[in-house]
Amino acid sequence: MTLNPESKYPSRRAFVLKLRSDAQPGALSGRLENVVTGKQREFSSGEDLLDSIASDLRASRDDTAPSDRHGETYERSKE
């Protein structure tokens, strides 16, 4: 049996979700924190929450070295 070296649920993608005490189903608000990086983002709607998660996932993808990404190549912009 061969074990997959990559976790299906990597720690880098673990979040703590804290909802405000006055949050309602139609008015979702709170804070999202990445467990590994500690980066926190406040949100004031379900859409903001999903945008925060997507933004964090894009940032982690951009920070991944090309050798760590199986078969995927890209050029990092020079700014």
Q: What is the 3-state secondary structure (H, E, C) of the chain?
A: CCCCCCCCCCHHHCEEEEECCCCECCECCEEEEECCCCCEEEECCHHHHHHHHHHHHHHHHHHCCHHHCCCCCCCCCCC
Average pLDDT of the residues in 26-35 = 95
CB neighbours of residue 51 within 10 Å: 13
Least confident of 1-15, 23-37, 46-60: 1-15
Question: What is the per-residue pLDDT for 19?
Answer: 96
Average pLDDT of the residues in 17-35 = 95
Whether the pLDDT of residue 33 is over 70: the answer is yes
CB neighbours of residue 20 within 10 Å: 14
Question: What is the per-residue pLDDT for 67?
Answer: 43
Kindly report, residue by residue over 50-62, the tens digit of the pLDDT.
999 999 989 877 7
Tokens of 39: 């980066």
